[in-house]
Every structure is written in C-alpha cells, then in structure tokens.
Amino acid sequence: MFNIILTDSALQHIKKVKAKNINKFLRITIEGGGCSGFQYVFALDDTQKADDIVIYQENEVIFAKTDTTSAQLLNDSNIDFIEELGASYFKVNNPNATAKCGCGSSFSI
C-alpha cells in the first residue's frame, strides 16, 4: 500500500475542480523529463485504467496513478495546493527526491 497525503488546501481545490468536471478525477503521474530528470504531471481524466492505484480520501476517489512506478516515487509524499499572487499550483513535498529544480516541478531520485 502506498501513502500519499493531500493537505486540506489540495483537497478543497480538487473538490472545486471536480464540481465543475463531474465525472473526472485528478490523475497524477511521474514522467521522465524536466531539468532534474523526473516531472510531476497533473491532469483531469475520466477513465480508470486496470492498473491504476486509486486514492480515496473523504469517501471519494480523489486521484489515481497509472502505474506502480509513479506510486513508488510518490510514496510518503505530501501534496499541497498553493495560491499566491499571480500563481496557483500543486506543490509536492516528496521525501524520496534527492534534488529538485528551482521551480519545484521536477526532481531526481
């Protein structure tokens, strides 16, 4: 089992987005790329795949990952949603990352 924690801010933002996109959920995956080797990808999806690992929080599907590799790389991560003047974004606090780029959207292991 994998442990991924959503902060209250992230959970509230996801619920707000889901209210406008009723049959969709947030999918988070990790792909190769970015200036540090791996990058987080957040997207809305309406199709659950056979190998998805589904995360439930507050009795509803919040998001799913497409593969166990992404889940392993995200294990014990904390995902927050930040709202600042001029920008809003998901911030992943990943204890498995050994380095990250300056903007925080890519990391290395």
Q: Which domains does the chain have, with CATH numbers?
A: 4-108 (2.60.300.12)
| pLDDT tens sequence across 19-50 | 898 888 888 888 887 676 788 888 888 888 87
| pLDDT tens sequence across 69-85 | 788 888 899 999 999 98
In the prediction, which pLDDT does 64 show? Answer: 64
Contact between 4 and 77 under an 8 Å Cβ cutoff? The reply is yes
Q: How far apart are CA 80 and CA 63, in angstroms?
A: 14
Entry pTM: 0.81
pLDDT band at 9 (very low <50, low <70, confident <90, very high): very high
